[in-house]
Structure 1
Amino acid sequence: MKKEAMLDSYMTYIQLEKNYSAHTVSNYRKDLESFFSFLESEGLSEIREVEYLHARNYVTQLYEQAFSRATVSRKISAVRSFFKYGSREFGLNEEAFKSLHHPKKRERLPQFFYEQELEMLFESVSGNDKLSQRNLALLELLYATGMRVSECTSIRIGDLDRAMNIVKVLGKGKKERYIPYGEFAREALEHYIEEARPKLMKNTDHVYLFVNSRGEPLTDRGIRYILSDCIKKAALNTAIYPHMIRHTFATHMLNNGADMRTVQELLGHAHLSSTQVYTHVTKEHLRSTYLNAHPRA
């Protein structure tokens, strides 16, 4: 089988079975196509002939091209994951990249909103028009649940248990989980579903919860645009990305006494280590508050 066919098979696997986001799938394809181009420049036409030396040369070239450690790490992950899949499906030898040193990414604490900033963000979407009602429901649900944006865009009306205030989401690896949401989110959702959504739907007919101004299902890009617009209206001097709401949810939960396992389950993290990064955020918050408040700090 040619490497192009192997690539197509792998892309289908990570998209359908691993449930990777469209953004991740696109990046992995570009990374692997770039790696294939490197092999051709090395005069290697057969992917089964890849050895450790080729892997080392590839990484050296990435650093020579001045990619960041995070980007190099992602590119190695893409190729390593491809070879792992290929060893199982096509008999490829995965040892070349399996034994390769994986550069550690510089740890950065997740950015989050303080509660006062979040209130300003909510105030920016107050209004009785249909788009304001949708934006408030979207913002309230994201903050109430900490769900990923990709999970939010796939929610259907039937995924909401409006009597129990619980939403079913489809996470990574197609794993379902149920997340409760509070009274603020419930009220915003009810207004949106009963009043705003029917007006936005116009002549369209589908079951997705959040829709754009034309009544079509809201996309990841659409949510980014909405949140950026909220930041401008709130006059907050910060950039925003959708995951910031998720970081804010986790940080506020831990700051207010939630235990780590509960937050892990709500976020849909497979490993506790993914959730533990937020303990560093809360410790830094405590330290900063102490230094600013204690007279002899």
Structure 2
Amino acid sequence: MTPVSNALEEALSEFERHLRAERDVSPHTTRAYRGDLSDLIAYATDLGVTEPAELDVSLLRAWLARQHALGRSRATLARRTAAARAFTRHLHRRGVLQDDPGLLLGTPKRQRALPGVITQDGAAHLLDKMDAQGPVGLRDLAVLEVLYGTGVRVSELCGLDIDDLDAGRGTIRVLGKGGRERTVPMGEPAARAIQDWLRAGRPALATEDSGPALFLGTRGGRLHPTSARRIVHARIAEVGQVPDLSPHGLRHSTATHLLEGGADLRSVQEILGHASLQTTQIYTHVSAERLKQVHRRAHPRGSQAD
């Protein structure tokens, strides 16, 4: 690999520190940006560009065009465009770049495959027919009830502590992406499953090292997201008559069923913890029949004459 100039490398290292300390970006995103921008800097160095101030839109576009020629996916191109924009914006704000060339970059459209969803009847069948015997059974039922009943991410579920529960209000406190905290309502079935787990399940698995974690693995430690995913797949297969889903599929089902039940998009956005409403619009879908019902009810010429 072509050696990277010290000035560009130092600028990248300073940007990485900025992401961690000032913007509270997740370690995963920071590593991805670091990898993307290291590739950009290597490309720039091959062209004889050795200073951050020399980065311009022509170079950025040429780099992205090369990524496209190499067969990078739309998702990768979108992420690398975002990384370049964030980097040049940072350099511009620091006074290194007089103008921000990242503002002139287009954004490749990402193709997002929506996860499968479970029907409302299917969700009821799954949760009503699950074997909830013993500590592990009680835990697994609580895990699925919370995932479906609240729409939280699997990482958020595994990060829950006992004190995050507010039984009186029927809510849980969730720490989401970017360190953003939100309060999420949960229904009575989820609350009941959690109380059963705390009363008759968790004490049987807890050890001195369990700490405040709400959900525990079989060895007493905090439940890991990988284990939670395995639980969801295994329990769905065990019950049968329900298509296989991941925790993300249950989250998507929650959003879909909320919208089908009449929830507005802003409320669903808050429940899911999306920073942008656009993300919620992509992530959720409403049946064509419900859209027609809304149109008939709300539009002055929506209802057809008999």
What's the TM-score, normalizing by structure 1?
0.82
Quote the offset at 1:54 in angstroms. 1.3
Which whole-Å CA distance do the structure 2 matches of 1:209 and 1:12 have between them? 33
Give 3-state SS (helix, strand or coil) of 1:167's partner: strand
Quote the residue 1:84 is aligned against: 89
1:137-152 alignment, distance < 5 Å: 137-152=142-157
Which structure exhibits the higher relative contact order, with contacts defined as CA atoms closer than 8 Å and separated by 6 or more residues? 1
Question: In the superposition, relative to structure 1, how do residues 199 and 86 fare at CA in structure 2: closer, same or farther (>3 Å)?
Answer: farther
Question: In the superposition, relative to structure 1, how do residues 285 and 68 fare at CA in structure 2: closer, same or farther (>3 Å)?
Answer: farther
Quote the offset at 1:177 in angstroms. 1.8
Quote the residue 2:108 is aligned against: 103
Gaps spanning 5+ residues in structure 1: where?
288-297
Match 1:68 to one of 70, 73, 82: 73
1:111-126 alignment, distance < 5 Å: 111-122=116-127, 125-126=130-131
Is the CA contact 1:69–1:105 (under 8 Å) kept in the aligned structure 2?
yes
Q: Tell me whether 58-67 or 147-156 shows the greater mean CA deviation.
A: 147-156
Match 1:216 to one of 212, 218, 221: 221
Match 1:35 to one of 19, 37, 40: 40
Q: Tell me which amino acid in the other structure corresponds to 2:93.
A: R
Question: In the superposition, relative to structure 1, how do residues 248 and 11 fare at CA in structure 2: closer, same or farther (>3 Å)?
Answer: farther
Is the CA contact 2:210–2:222 (under 8 Å) kept in the aligned structure 1?
no
Q: Tell me whether 243-252 or 90-99 shows the greater mean CA deviation.
A: 90-99
Give 3-state SS (helix, strand or coil) of 2:287's partner: helix
Question: In the superposition, relative to structure 1, how do residues 124 and 52 fare at CA in structure 2: closer, same or farther (>3 Å)?
Answer: farther
Which whole-Å CA distance do the structure 1 matches of 2:221 and 2:235 have between them? 21
Quote the offset at 1:94 in angstroms. 6.3
Q: Tell me whether 200-209 or 106-115 shows the greater mean CA deviation.
A: 106-115
Which whole-Å CA distance do the structure 1 matches of 2:99 and 2:174 have between them? 34
Q: Tell me whether 229-238 or 196-205 shows the greater mean CA deviation.
A: 229-238
Quote the residue 1:294 is aligned against: none
For 1:62-82, what per-residue CA distance to the aligned partner results, in whole angstroms no more than 9, with x for missing partners? Answer: 111111222211121122123
Q: Tell me which amino acid in the other structure corresponds to 2:218.
A: S
Which whole-Å CA distance do the structure 1 matches of 2:94 and 2:217 have between them? 41
Question: In the superposition, relative to structure 1, how do residues 23 and 285 fare at CA in structure 2: closer, same or farther (>3 Å)?
Answer: farther
Quote the residue 1:176 is aligned against: 181
Quote the residue 1:292 is aligned against: none
Which whole-Å CA distance do the structure 1 matches of 2:33 and 2:132 have between them? 41
Quote the residue 1:185 is aligned against: 190
Question: In the superposition, relative to structure 1, how do residues 28 and 278 fare at CA in structure 2: closer, same or farther (>3 Å)?
Answer: closer
Quote the residue 1:290 is aligned against: none
For 1:170-219, what per-residue CA distance to the aligned partner results, in whole angstroms no more than 9, with x for missing partners? Answer: 23343322111111101110121222222222231411222222222223
* 1:251 maps onto 2:256 in alignment: yes
Q: How many residues align?
A: 287
Is the CA contact 2:161–2:212 (under 8 Å) kept in the aligned structure 1?
yes
Identity of aligned residues (%): 34
Gaps spanning 5+ residues in structure 2: where?
1-5, 293-306
Quote the residue 1:260 is aligned against: 265
Is the CA contact 1:109–1:280 (under 8 Å) kept in the aligned structure 2?
no
* 1:271 maps onto 2:272 in alignment: no
For the aligned residue pairs, the C-alpha RMSD in angstroms reads: 2.9
Question: In the superposition, relative to structure 1, how do residues 230 and 34 fare at CA in structure 2: closer, same or farther (>3 Å)?
Answer: farther
Quote the offset at 1:165 in angstroms. 1.4
Quote the offset at 1:161 in angstroms. 0.7
Quote the offset at 1:133 in angstroms. 1.7
Question: In the superposition, relative to structure 1, how do residues 30 and 190 fare at CA in structure 2: closer, same or farther (>3 Å)?
Answer: same
Quote the offset at 1:144 in angstroms. 1.3
* 1:230 maps onto 2:226 in alignment: no
Question: In the superposition, relative to structure 1, how do residues 181 and 225 fare at CA in structure 2: closer, same or farther (>3 Å)?
Answer: same
Which whole-Å CA distance do the structure 1 matches of 2:225 and 2:107 have between them? 30
Q: Tell me which amino acid in the other structure corresponds to 1:106.
A: Q
Question: In the superposition, relative to structure 1, how do residues 124 and 150 fare at CA in structure 2: closer, same or farther (>3 Å)?
Answer: same
Quote the offset at 1:252 in angstroms. 0.2
Quote the offset at 1:261 in angstroms. 2.7
Q: Tell me which amino acid in the other structure corresponds to 2:58.
A: L
1:19-58 alignment, distance < 5 Å: 19-58=24-63
Q: Tell me which amino acid in the other structure corresponds to 1:100.
A: L
Q: Which has the larger radius of gyration?
A: 2
Quote the offset at 1:164 in angstroms. 2.1
Is the CA contact 2:117–2:245 (under 8 Å) kept in the aligned structure 1?
no
Q: Tell me whether 202-211 or 60-69 shows the greater mean CA deviation.
A: 202-211
